[in-house]
Amino acid sequence: MTRAGRRHIGGGATLDRAASRILEVRRDFLDAVGRLGFAISQDRASRGVRILSAQPNLYLTYWLHLYTDGSALLTWEFAIADYLQAKRIQLGSSEALNLFMFPAEDQRGPQDPAWLRGAIDQVEALLASVDFHHPE
């Protein structure tokens, strides 16, 4: 699954110095973002917000919103209908257009590598806790 408009800078592995100027973020944060697989997903800021995305697997997409005040917002979406279809399970009427899981609340914090890693760890722990066989 790919998203239209995603632009990888520096081969997608790390974001280069030009990206640091474009995004107006600290270099250490930009390095961390690049190591985590994020890439610029839009060419221009919208209302002062830059959006980056990462897709660690076929079904999960992270969205990182970078604000000019130095804060960041991490959210995610999981293509649950596509995932279940791959497991030969149908969800609802099997219309996969808008069947995504997403967090009840997004995480907001500073543009700091430790905060971002911790926020992603929390998402991974939440997703790992989903157990259809033992739902209690």
Question: What is d(CA 53, CA 28) in angstroms, rounded to the nearest whole number?
Answer: 18
Q: Which residue has the higher pLDDT, 42 or 85?
A: 85
Helix (H, G, I), strand (E, B) or coil at 72: strand
Q: Which residue has the higher pLDDT, 115 or 17?
A: 115
Average pLDDT over the chain, rounded to whole? 81
pTM of the model: 0.79
Question: What is d(CA 95, CA 63) in angstroms, rounded to the nearest whole number?
Answer: 24
Q: What is the pLDDT of residues 56-74, one digit of tens each?
A: 999 999 999 999 889 999 9
Both tokens of 12, joined, read 């997608």
Give, to the nearest 10 degrees, the angle between helix 113-128 and helix 27-35.
Answer: 30
Residue 17, pLDDT score: 56
Both tokens of 22, joined, read 């474009």
Residue 28 above 50 pLDDT?
yes
Cβ-proximal residues to 47 (8 Å cutoff; 6+ apart), any chain: none
Q: Are 80 and 91 in contact (CB under 8 A)?
A: yes
Strands (E), 55-131: 60-67, 71-78, 107-110
Both tokens of 84, joined, read 């279940």
Residue 90, pLDDT score: 85
